[in-house]
Structures are given as C-alpha cells and as structure tokens.
Amino acid sequence: MVALDGVLRVPCKTNMRLSVLLVFSALTFAQTPEPPKYTGPGSCASPSCHGSVTVKTDTSVQQNEYSTWVVKDKHARAFAVLSNDVAKRMARIMDLKEPSTEARCLGCHSLNPPKDERARTFDGSDGVSCENCHGPAYNWLGKHTATARGGEGGWTHEDSVKAGMKDLRDLGNRTTQCLTCHVGNKDYAVDHELIAAGHPDLYFELDSFMAAMPKHWKEVSEKPNAPADPYFDVRALAVGQAVDLRDQLRRLARNAATGVWPEYADLDCFACHHSLTTAENSWQQERGYPAMPSATTSTGAPPAGELGRRPGNPPWNLSRYVVLKEVLADVDPAAGRELDGDIDRLYGMVTSLKSDRAQIASLATSTADVVGQLVPKLTAAAYDQPKTLHMIKGILNNADYITHQGERPAEQAAMTVQSLYTAYASKGRPANDARIQETISGLFKQVENPSAYNAFKFADQMKALDKLLP
C-alpha cells in the first residue's frame, strides 16, 4: 500500500474509479446540479487531497484522512465481516441468502444507496467509507477539490453542506450520523432477532468512541486561527448523551407503533441473559425490583409504599438516560426535572409489557422532541474544570441508582467517568492521579463479563472513586 518513497499507492481499482470520477466532477461545473450521487472513497484518495501518508500541519485538514481510514479504521473492513463464519451462521439461522447481498446487512456494513444514486465509480464492497458519514460527494466534490488546490471560486465548507455534504462539525449532526447504525433508523436496526442469531448488542458514547477511533480529522477549535474550546470533550459527551437518548426514544416509538412488541432489544438484555446462581448469591434478588427511576431513594431501595416493577418483567434499558440525567442537573436542572417525569412514565409503561402501544409510541415521540430541544442548549453551554468535576461527582454520588439499573447503565457510567476525568485532568492532574486512574480501570474490569457483573460491587467501586477526587 505504501511505497519506499512514502507515497500511498492506491489500488488499481481505486485509480480507475478516481480517473472516471475526476471527469464526472469536472462536468459539475458546467451542468445543472444532479440529484445527489455517491462516488466511493476513491474520489478522496489522491495524495494531494486526503491520501497523504503524513499529517499536514500547514492546512486546515490533515490530508491523510483516506490513508488513516483504509489502513487503520475498522469501518473500512465492515463489508468483509459479512463473509466470516459468524455472519454465515447468522444467515442460516435467519434463513437469509448471502449476507453481503442482504439490504438488512448492507445498511450498516456498507453503503447501500438506491441504484440511481450511485455514480459509475461507486463500489459497495468499500465498506463503511467516507460518504457513509459525509454524505454523497458528486455535487460538491469538483469545486471542493478545485478550491483546495488553489483554484478559483472560494468554495467553502458551508457551500459543500448546501450541496449535500453532512455538517459533521456540528456535534448533534455528528452523533445523529453515528447513531444511524449504532441505534438504527426506520430502515434498519439491530433488533432482538439479530442479537439472538449472533449479532452483538450495540451501545454508544460519542466522546469515548471518538477517542478509540484512529482520528482522521481536526476539530474546528484545532484549525489555524480558530478560537480554542478547551472542554470540547465534555461538550461532545453532553451532546452525545442527549442525541443518543433522543434516537433511542424514536426507535422505541417506531417499535411500539408498528414493529414487533415487545421488542426485547429495547429492554435490559442482562436482566435475563446472565449466569444463574443460587438465590443467596444473586445480587438481582438481593436488590429486588426497583421502583420508577427517579422515585429511587439515595440508598437505591424503593421508597416506602412503592412496590417497583413486577418480578419477571424485564426493565427498559436506561443506559442512555442515567448519565444525561446528571449532565442536565448541571446544565439545565428545570429541563432535567421535566425529563425525569416523562422517563418515569415511559419506564412504567414499557416495563409492564401490558400498556397500550399507541400510548407508548406517543409519549416516546413527545419525549424525544423534548430531548431534541436540549441538544442546542448542551452544544452552546459553557464547560470548565469545576463543572466537569461536578458532573463526575454527580454520577458517582448516584452510584446506587445507576448500578441497580443493570450492567449497561454501569458500562455507560464507566465510559463517561473516564472521558470526564480525562478532560478534567488535562488541565492539571491531582497528586493521586495514578490511584484515580487505577480505580477507573477497576470499573471497566467489572463490566467485561456481563454475567459476572454485581451492582453492589460496582457501586462500591464508584464510591471509592468519589472519595479519591478533590
């Protein structure tokens, strides 16, 4: 892939597509804009565009974006996964044909637009590539490329957005784009059928996932002459939590309105899927069956007179809410209290398994709208070191509530505490930083094996971490 002279050698298939694409792109200068079309990642692969093997420091982008994706990013191999033994076994279980031809699979393991939206250079075997996230390139690629190479026209990022590029500088848009697969949309999602056949359950936390990716972009605040945003990671976490809950609520509404009901993928998987043990060793039975989420006392037990959910009814998965609840306590307490009430009602309706589906769909839709209105507020909010520490402490102080909701909420708490502490410590590490880091690592160890998860032990670890913080 990389020659001794340091130049990325693009595969022959990509070179051919690139040559055709450049002719197509040139025509867009003179023609009336066509409907958006997908061109494939070869259109970005030139070493003078995004295919360099070194990071450029004198430009507004790194210019090695394609190289990073094709060599290091697992998204580039998403299509190949459809040919492995697990995928083939899933296809047999579900009575599907070849996974690499199934629209249900291609929606997230590749790019599968309608045929009339594919340029001649398009190839679905490229996996999850540039246009999955950035949108169809045909209508903006030519002028975008010409301006980047010093041509006339002054084509801007905003011009590209008007021509069909996704504005991923906006954190709300960025999270929404990620969640088209990591939560799903009206066309495809990982449901209980897929999970039972062998597909992993999906979870998401924007800042943690960005940190784990081989980064191929500069944030706006990292570009030359741009204003600094020292707590960008905290902003990303807050916005990501809200968009994640909003899109989960939209999925819940779709499932309740027209899908299989109950759709067990909306519920807490590990309420049922965990290793059985004797009654005296079961943390689930020691905990009991808590009441509605915000009706929980500081000890994690239901208040007097509250029976909680019926034993045997799997609870709604609240992993996309438990951290946002604490973020809103800092950023918009009034909105947080309103959301508490809506989530409580939904939790009761979903968990009972007998509620009216139309009522669930209606409340989930209206609650999603409420959460959606919070996204601009969380994007525009001011974040600093004291607020970041307060968010961490808020999460840790709610250890009993979070951990008793199950393994997935605990996992979400571990990811967000790590992200927030990294942001906090970047502006000055406490003297006991090594001990704090070790304790955070201990949280992750407790969720490595869902069957070994114990809410009481996880809560104790959170409380130990709380005592270590300033």
Q: Give the pLDDT of the chain (470 residues) as one tens digit per residue.
A: 434 333 344 444 444 444 444 444 444 444 445 678 999 999 888 888 899 989 887 777 889 999 999 999 999 999 999 999 999 999 999 999 899 999 999 999 999 999 999 999 999 999 999 999 999 999 888 888 777 665 556 788 899 999 999 999 999 999 999 999 999 999 999 999 999 999 999 999 999 999 999 999 999 999 888 999 999 999 999 999 999 999 999 999 999 999 889 999 999 999 999 899 999 999 999 988 876 666 554 444 444 444 578 888 889 999 999 999 999 999 999 999 999 999 999 999 999 888 999 999 999 999 999 999 999 999 999 999 999 999 999 999 999 999 999 999 999 999 999 999 999 999 999 999 999 999 999 999 999 999 999 999 999 999 999 999 99
Residues 137 and 241 in one domain: no
- Number of helices (H), then strands (E), belonging to the chain: the values are 20, 0
Which residues are registered as beta bridge partners of 267? 316
User: Which residue from 269, 362, 283 is spatially nearest to 316, judged by alpha carbons?
Assistant: 269
pLDDT of residue 148: 66
Last residue of a domain, one of 151, 167, 183: 167
Do residues 148 and 279 both lie within one domain?
no
Measured CA to CA, the distance from residue 207 to residue 240 in angstroms comes to: 7
Q: Quick check: is 431 in a domain?
A: yes
The one-letter code for the residue type at 298 is S
Q: Let me know whether 319 and 396 are in one domain.
A: yes
229 in the same domain as 150:
no
Compute how many other C-beta atoms are within 10 angstroms of the C-beta atom of residue 279.
Answer: 8
Domain count, the chain: 2
- Chain centre distance of CA 421: 20
Is the separation of the CB atoms in 112 and 103 below 8 Å?
A: yes
* Residues ≥6 apart with Cβ < 8 Å to 405: 268, 290, 293, 315, 318, 319, 322
Domain presence at residue 2: no
What is the pLDDT, as a whole number, of residue 367?
98
Task: Give the rounded distance of the alpha carbon of 150 from its chain centre.
Answer: 36
Same domain, 405 and 333: yes
Among 167, 185, 208, the domain-final residue is 167
163 and 224, same domain (yes or no): no
- Using CB atoms within 10 Å of the CB of residue 32, give its burial: 0 to 12 exposed, 13 to 18 middle, 19+ buried: exposed
Bridge partner residues of 316 (DSSP): 267
Of the three residues 129, 151, 167, the one that is the final residue of a domain is 167
Residues 451, 376 share a domain: yes
Q: Is 335 in the same domain as 416?
A: yes
426, 300: one domain: yes
CA distances from 22 to 41, 127, 155, 308, 362 (A): 13, 22, 17, 63, 48
SS3 87: helix
Residue 194 belongs to a domain = no
CB 229 within 8 A of CB 235: yes
Report the predicted TM-score, pTM, of the whole model to 2 decimal places: 0.89
Whether 255 is in a domain gets the answer yes
Chain centroid, CA 182 distance in Å: 6
Q: What per-residue confidence (pLDDT) applies to 108?
A: 96
* In a domain? residue 4: no
First to last CA, the chain: 49
- Residue 196 included in any domain: no
127 and 275 both lie in a single domain:
no
Is residue 192 a part of any domain in this protein?
A: no
Question: Range of 285's domain?
Answer: 220-468
Q: Kindly state whether residue 139 falls inside one of the protein's structural domains.
A: yes
| pLDDT confidence of residue 207 | 96
Among 443, 244, 435, 436, smallest CA distance to 327 is for: 244
With 0-12 / 13-18 / 19 or more C-beta atoms within 10 angstroms meaning exposed / middle / buried, residue 56 is exposed
Q: Is-cis flag, bond preceding 262, omega within 30?
A: yes
